[in-house]
Structure 1
Amino acid sequence: MKPRITHTLLALSMAFAATAAAAADAFPSRPIRIVVNTAPGGLTDITTRLVAQKMGEKLGQSVVIDNKAGADGLLGIRYVKTQPADGYTLLGTAGTVAIQPAVKLDPGYDLVKDFTGVGPMVRSPVLVVEGMSQPDQTLADFMARAKATPDQLTYASAGVGTTTHLGAALFLQQAGLKVMHVPYKGNGAAMADVIAGRVTMIFEAYGSGAGKVKAGQLKALAVSSTKRLPGLPDVPTIAEQGVPGYSYYLWLGLMAPAGTPKDVVAKLSDALHFALSSKELRDRMRDDGSEPMIMSPDEYNEFLKRDAVQMQKVINELGIQKQ
């Protein structure tokens, strides 16, 4: 009896292994969803949609976008954390995911324990933009107004502890300005108030802001890159305009719930690299002022750890208290 039981168990084990291998080989067998933790219309949303379309070509399945904005980006992050670790639900986010643990008493997730990186998508500088009704013609004009009326001007952001918040807060700190912060559920949600002049200024990603500048909806006072950008050559850098040494870039990336099989992550990573390497997408990104970032999942996980440490240091220096 014992040999028969042993053979039966061995056969069952082999059958299970074969089934698991077949399931892994079959991935993906249905559409993949990328949860974007910002409102539609911002750089994270726009870029992820472009990348998702190209990834779908490589994977042979549609890759759909599901916007879950709110709680300074935490709503989408926490949601993805709870999803099955099977590769069918991913998180599309900016560097906000590495910042929130430094600014929230209870962020509701552990970056290292709850997620695994698929890969970064792009990095992008930001534009300092205002509505056309604002009187400022240059960044110097804005700075002069802010110095003359402390805490009277306002700046919008995608939420407390988001990348656009930190970029603006760093600029204001280095420039010695006091401007009131008005957080929104994503930069896209803030844009109507900025355009209408109800909020003075916002740091908007170049990729989602340049079109509005060229269309005459917004005026660009400065760009956060180390040098001027070909798409808006007449817009000076922040460093050129009285804040020497300042530069700021935000990054976007894809993540999966912790425990997602490595072979599944590898397939998703390959599809992401395929998307980022396409001439069509690279040309679009260049025109939008963005730069593709290509890393392996392991490299991206190390990048995330380093960025979280660096962001904690920045938060401490800015004196932003945990909420």
Structure 2
Amino acid sequence: MKKVVAALLVAVACTAPAAEVFPARPVRIVVAASPGGLVDISTRLVAQKMAEKLGQPVIVENRAGADTLLGIRYVKGAPADGYTVLATSNSIASQPAVKLDPGYDLAKDFLGIGLVVRSPWVMVVGPSQLDRSVADFIARANAKPAEMSFASGGVGTTPYMAAAMFLQRAGVKLLHVPYKGNGAAIPDVISGRVTMIFEGLGSGAGKIRGGQLRALGVSSLQRLPAFPEIPTIAEQGLPNFSSYVDIGLLVPSGTPKDAVDKLSAALQAAITSKEVRERFEGAGAEMVPIKPQEYTEALKRETVQMGKLAAELGLQKQ
């Protein structure tokens, strides 16, 4: 009898399914912004290369809305298995500063995978606008503020925070027009229905070169080699003004370390590939290789910094 039981146990052990090796099926990246903006464009670019490294398709899905919170909350509630990844800007660190209940705790609910790209903002207007410089814009805003407005991907998003900081330092107040991501706002800026927006240079470069948008200034402290003709905002009367957008990938807390490490390796392979590097650098953006733990800690620090900025700007939590 003992021999029979032993034989049965061996048979069961031999037929038991092997533990799943990540990734065994497609990976989905949820973009917390509308199509056409920097988060969307940069994520789709690296997703193609990540798929090659992972050996599985990487599907990109947009879930825009609620000032990026729709996508963020969706991924927070997804299984922590590595198959659902969040792509977002550093808006994920600024939302807690302006929302009474953002619906997540960045330090507890997410783990960082790494940075996709970092880009300065470019302050742009449509071609029909009269402004040719930051000084022109400020002078017109002081003279006729009721006729001007600015767009963003929503209150608390990084383009909103950058624009709000600019307007505060310039001493002007303009109507804010929120959209479900910068990509959704750009057509209205081009047409002149909205006056100005702070757009990621990585996504706005083509429209600037094509004449659909006019660049008034970049938010980096130095002029960019890719766009030496665009002056910095700092050199146009706002000394030391600087602001950047960081696009990164995150997963829900509890995701296995093996999955985190493989996603990180795939991201690093993507951003260091010749094709991706040249695309980003040609748009004035930069790649910053960073380990998951380093990125997680950087986001925690930025949450504190964004809280201080919101206090300086006098933003009330809603």
- Range of TM-score over shorter length: over 0.9
- Matched-pair contact (CA < 8 Å) for 2:22–2:258: no
- Equivalent residue in structure 2 for 1:105, among 100, 109, 112: 100
User: How far apart in 2 are the matches of 1:208 and 1:270?
Assistant: 25
Structure 2 length-normalised TM = 0.94
Letter in 1 for 2:313: L
Corresponding position: 1:180 with 2:171: no
Match of 1:121, SS?
Answer: strand
Letter in 1 for 2:253: A
Letter in 1 for 2:139: A
Aligned length in residues: 316
Q: CA deviation at 1:57?
A: 0.5
Corresponding position: 1:31 with 2:31: no
- Equivalent residue in structure 2 for 1:78, among 73, 82, 96: 73
What's the CA shift string for 1:37-59, capped at 9, x where partnerless? 10000000000001111100000
Equivalent positions of 1:1-323 (< 5 A) are 22-23=19-20, 26-323=21-318
Match of 2:279, SS?
Answer: helix
CA RMSD of aligned residues (A): 2.3
Structure 1 runs of 4+ aligned residues shifted over 3 Å read none
- Matched-pair contact (CA < 8 Å) for 2:118–2:244: yes
Report sequence identity in percent: 61
Match of 1:164, SS?
Answer: helix
- Matched-pair contact (CA < 8 Å) for 1:228–1:237: yes
Unaligned runs of 5+ residues in structure 1 are none
- Matched-pair contact (CA < 8 Å) for 2:227–2:284: no
User: How far apart in 2 are the matches of 1:184 and 1:168?
Assistant: 14
Letter in 1 for 2:58: V
- Matched-pair contact (CA < 8 Å) for 2:85–2:250: yes
- Matched-pair contact (CA < 8 Å) for 2:25–2:56: yes
Q: 1:27 to 1:138 in 2, by over 3 A?
A: same
User: How far apart in 1 are the matches of 2:207 and 2:186?
Assistant: 10
Match of 1:107, SS?
Answer: coil
Unaligned runs of 5+ residues in structure 2 are none
- Matched-pair contact (CA < 8 Å) for 2:29–2:61: yes
Match of 1:221, SS?
Answer: strand
- Matched-pair contact (CA < 8 Å) for 1:151–1:178: no
